[in-house]
Amino acid sequence: MANTERTFIMIKPDGVHRCIVGEIIKRFEQKGFKLVALKMMQASQELLETHYGDLSSKPFFPGLVKYMASGPVVCMVWEGLNAVKTGRVMLGETNPADSKPGTIRGDFCVQVGRNICHGSDAVESAQKEIALWFKPEELVAWSPNQAPWVYE
For residue 88, the minimal CB distance to Mg ion (Å) is: 9
Q: Is 151 in the site for ligand IDP (CB under 6 A)?
A: no
Q: Any catalytic annotation for residue 118?
A: yes
* CB nearer to ligand IDP: pick between 3 and 94: 94
Which residue type is seen at 52? Y
Chain residue whose CB lies nearest ligand IDP: 94
- The residue length of the chain stands at 152
DSSP letter string, 23-78: HHHHHHHHHTPEEEEEEEE---HHHHHHHTGGGTTSTTHHHHHHHHTSS-EEEEEE
What is the C-alpha separation between 76 and 3, in angstroms, rounded? Answer: 17
Q: In b/e form, how buried is each residue of 22-46, taking b as 16+ CB within 10 angstroms?
A: eebbebbeeeebbbbbeeeeebeee
Contact pick of 9, 80, 118, 130 for ligand IDP (by CB under 6 A): 118
Interface mask toward Mg ion for 111-150; x: CB under 5 A: ----------x-----------------------------
Contact pick of 42, 45, 94, 146 for ligand IDP (by CB under 6 A): 94
Interface positions with ligand IDP (CB under 6 A): 55, 60, 64, 94, 112-113, 115, 118, 121
Interface positions with Mg ion (CB under 5 A): 121
